[in-house]
């Protein structure tokens, strides 16, 4: 049967797509339905029909899924952030576990029974809210001319007012309300993306979970804040306030932060700790947004690395050196490689701050630095840890790893499709998949982190 636009159909939701949409099938014809939850029976209206599949709009939930729950946030449908908030948390974890499992089978080519024998229980969060230590709130103006802040409605740039995102820290709301009040009182205009006029573009808020330190950075289309003392006085009174700064961004761009930061109050950085290592974080630093789950991932990576204390470890895609520094105390020597020079600056500074001397960091692409060091200088590795971006590892990086032949490779991944592709390569080249586990760093979203151990057969 073929469907066309405006047809209404009834379908049971059997799967969830990459963006959290419900997926149902009628006689092999696939329907993608936003806001439908796994297990729902729904009626939906076809909006865009293709030969094999269609995008449809949820009309009515005819029989709610047993996994459907009342979402905590009233805006979860309009906001792109929490695609699966209407699904119970246990079911979310099961869904994520299955997603990784299926990719290991489909893309990695592993046998289903084998995958089941090596996959560990998922590690989730309790509660699955308030876990993000960083948020960037856009500012705008409502129809009445009042300043507002909140989030962009999914895939648009129109702001829905909400200062109380359920994924962020509780302090966000108090800080944002303070800023809105100040803007009203002193007539400080929000930036308007269309005209390029107005002042306040975004406000970045960060919190050190371990220290309670708070950072606020105003991103402005100008060089200073009018009546600056007034807003500083109010924000300073919020317990934990450690750093208030400006980021100047006068370009017409979607890039949020400007390059120049000016300190208005307190210190330039806040501190946080993960696994006993202290990190200094500036408004521009990269830092893991869910430090609680991150520490659990690093613990698992450490367990998989099975170190004796003498090893040479390479940490590829090392960011600000979080994994490198975490492992440094347990090994002989760590080498970190990262493409972003500023991140390596931070990594070195963090090493110094923690008195760690057995780490060395290199700026560059993993697929260039590693071959160069190996082919020209003959470096070796007992263990290699990789934590690449979504696109996974470059093949040159993988082939060099194979040539270096470390006993163990620990692969941390935020995309199980590219992870599975890379594992296939490594397994075809002498490695064995030993263990795989998933970690829920982004509860209520469709994202999932995995940590995998592969070992070399002949070692
Ligand atoms: N391991 C770090 C960061 C992982 S995020 C942590 O746990 O915090 C992935 C990192 O890979 C980013 O910092 C990104 O800048 C870096 N990156 C992206 N492509 C790269 C490449 N080709 N070579 C080296 N690093 C790269």
295 lines ligand 1 (CB under 6 A): no
Nearest CA to ligand 1 atom 11: 317
Specify the residue for token string 């939850």: 37
Chain CA centroid to CA 387, Å: 12
- Mean pLDDT, all residues of the chain: 95
Q: How far is the CA of 13 from the centre of ligand 1 (A)?
A: 36
Q: How many other C-beta atoms are found inside a 10 Å radius of the C-beta of residue 377?
A: 8
Look at the alpha carbons of 212, 268, 164, 181 in this order and tell me if their dihedral is positive or negative.
Answer: positive
Active site residue 9: no
Q: Residue 277 — φ and ψ, nearest 5°?
A: -100, 135
* Category of 136 on φ-ψ map: left (φ > 0), alpha (ψ -120 to 50) or beta: beta
pLDDT score for 459: 52
Pocket test for ligand 1, best of 342, 361, 388 (most atoms within 8 A of CB): 388
Determine the average pLDDT of the residues in 199-206: 98
Nearest CA to ligand 1 atom 3: 319
234 lines ligand 1 (CB under 6 A): no
Strand partners, 413: 450
User: Residue 1: which pLDDT band, with cuts at 50, 70 and 90?
Assistant: low
Determine the average pLDDT of the residues in 301-314: 96
Determine the average pLDDT of the residues in 328-346: 95
Q: How many other C-beta atoms are found inside a 10 Å radius of the C-beta of residue 259?
A: 10
45-102: per-residue pLDDT in tens? 999 999 999 999 999 999 999 999 999 998 988 887 899 999 999 999 999 999 999 9
The atom number, within ligand 1, closest to the CA of 366 reads: 23
244 lines ligand 1 (CB under 6 A): no
440 lines ligand 1 (CB under 6 A): no
Cα–Cα distance, 240 to 212 (Å, whole number) = 6
Q: How far is the CA of 342 from the centre of ligand 1 (A)?
A: 12
Report the range of poorest mean pLDDT among 76-80, 209-213, 289-293, 355-359. 76-80
Nearest CA to ligand 1 atom 10: 317
Report the range of poorest mean pLDDT among 76-90, 92-106, 261-275, 409-423. 76-90
Cβ contact 53:44 at 8 Å: no
The atom number, within ligand 1, closest to the CA of 365 reads: 23
Specify the residue for token string 């450490």: 302
Q: Whole-prediction pTM value?
A: 0.93
Q: How far is the CA of 22 from the centre of ligand 1 (A)?
A: 32
pLDDT score for 174: 97
Determine the average pLDDT of the residues in 286-291: 94
3-state secondary structure 236-295: HCCCCEEEEEEEECCCCCCCCCCCEEEEEEECCCEEEEECCEEEEECCCCCCCCCHHHHH
Q: How far is the CA of 303 from the centre of ligand 1 (A)?
A: 22
Q: How far is the CA of 415 from the centre of ligand 1 (A)?
A: 13
117-146: per-residue pLDDT in tens? 999 999 999 999 999 999 999 999 999 999
User: Residue 156: which pLDDT band, with cuts at 50, 70 and 90?
Assistant: confident
pLDDT above 60 (res 456):
yes
Strand order through the sheet with 159-161: 159-161, 147-152, 134-141, 200-207, 214-220, 241-248, 260-266
Determine the average pLDDT of the residues in 291-319: 97
Cβ contact 76:20 at 8 Å: no
pLDDT score for 385: 98
Nearest CA to ligand 1 atom 13: 319
Strand-strand pairing, 449-456 and 408-413: antiparallel
Which residue among 178, 228, 393, 414 is the active-site one?
414
Q: Residue 319 — φ and ψ, nearest 5°?
A: 55, -130
Determine the average pLDDT of the residues in 194-200: 95
Cα–Cα distance, 181 to 195 (Å, whole number) = 24
Cβ contact 117:433 at 8 Å: no
3-state secondary structure of 382: coil
281 lines ligand 1 (CB under 6 A): no
Q: Which residue, 412, 201, 413, 215, is CA-closest to 327?
A: 412
Cα–Cα distance, 48 to 56 (Å, whole number) = 7
Cα–Cα distance, 286 to 288 (Å, whole number) = 7
pLDDT above 90 (res 433):
yes
pLDDT above 70 (res 173):
yes
Cα–Cα distance, 335 to 313 (Å, whole number) = 6
pLDDT score for 399: 98
Cα–Cα distance, 151 to 154 (Å, whole number) = 9
pLDDT above 60 (res 363):
yes
Q: Residue 421 — φ and ψ, nearest 5°?
A: -60, -45
């Amino acid at each position: 049967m073929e469907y066309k636009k405006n047809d209404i159909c009834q379908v049971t939701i059997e799967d969830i797509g990459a963006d959290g949409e419900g997926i149902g099938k009628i006689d092999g014809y696939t329907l993608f339905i936003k806001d439908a939850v796994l297990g729902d029976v729904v009626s939906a209206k076809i909006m865009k029909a293709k030969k094999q599949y269609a995008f449809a709009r949820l009309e009515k939930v005819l029989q709610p899924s047993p996994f459907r729950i009342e979402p905590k946030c009233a805006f979860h449908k309009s906001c792109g952030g929490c695609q699966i908030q209407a699904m119970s948390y246990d079911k979310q974890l099961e869904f994520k576990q299955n997603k990784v499992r299926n990719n290991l089978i489909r893309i990695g080519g592993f046998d289903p029974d084998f995958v089941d024998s090596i996959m560990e229980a998922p590690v989730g969060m309790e509660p699955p809210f308030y876990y993000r230590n960083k948020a960037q709130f856009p500012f705008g103006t409502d129809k009445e001319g009042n300043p507002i802040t909140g989030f962009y409605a999914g895939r648009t740039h129109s702001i829905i007012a909400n200062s109380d995102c359920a994924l962020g820290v509780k302090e966000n709301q108090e800080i944002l309300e303070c800023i809105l009040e100040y803007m009203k009182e002193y007539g400080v205009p929000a930036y308007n993306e269309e005209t390029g006029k107005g002042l306040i573009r975004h406000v970045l808020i960060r919190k050190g979970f371990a220290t309670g330190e708070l950072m606020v950075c105003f991103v402005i289309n100008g060089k200073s804040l009018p009546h600056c003392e007034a807003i500083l006085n109010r924000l300073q009174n919020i317990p934990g306030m450690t750093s208030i700064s400006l980021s100047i961004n006068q370009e017409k761009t979607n890039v949020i932060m400007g390059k120049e930061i000016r300190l208005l109050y307190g210190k330039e950085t806040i501190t946080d700790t993960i696994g006993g290592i202290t990190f200094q974080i500036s408004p521009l630093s990269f830092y893991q947004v869910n430090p609680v789950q991150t520490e659990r991932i690093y613990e698992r990576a450490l367990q998989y690395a099975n170190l004796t204390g003498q090893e040479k470890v390479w940490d590829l895609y090392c960011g600000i050196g979080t994994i490198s520094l975490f492992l440094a105390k347990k090994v002989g020597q760590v080498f970190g490689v990262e493409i972003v020079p500023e991140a390596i600056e931070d990594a070195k500074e963090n090493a110094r701050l923690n008195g760690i001397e057995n780490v060395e960091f290199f700026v560059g692409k993993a697929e260039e630095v590693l071959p160069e060091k190996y082919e020209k200088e003959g470096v070796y590795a007992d263990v290699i840890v990789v934590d690449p971006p979504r696109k996974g590892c470059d093949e040159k990086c993988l082939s060099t790893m194979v040539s270096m032949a470390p006993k163990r490779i620990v692969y941390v991944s935020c995309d199980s499709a590219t992870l599975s592709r890379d594992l296939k390569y490594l397994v075809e080249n002498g490695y064995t998949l030993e263990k795989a586990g998933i970690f829920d760093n982004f509860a209520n979203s469709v994202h999932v982190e995995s940590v995998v151990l592969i070992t070399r057969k002949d070692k």
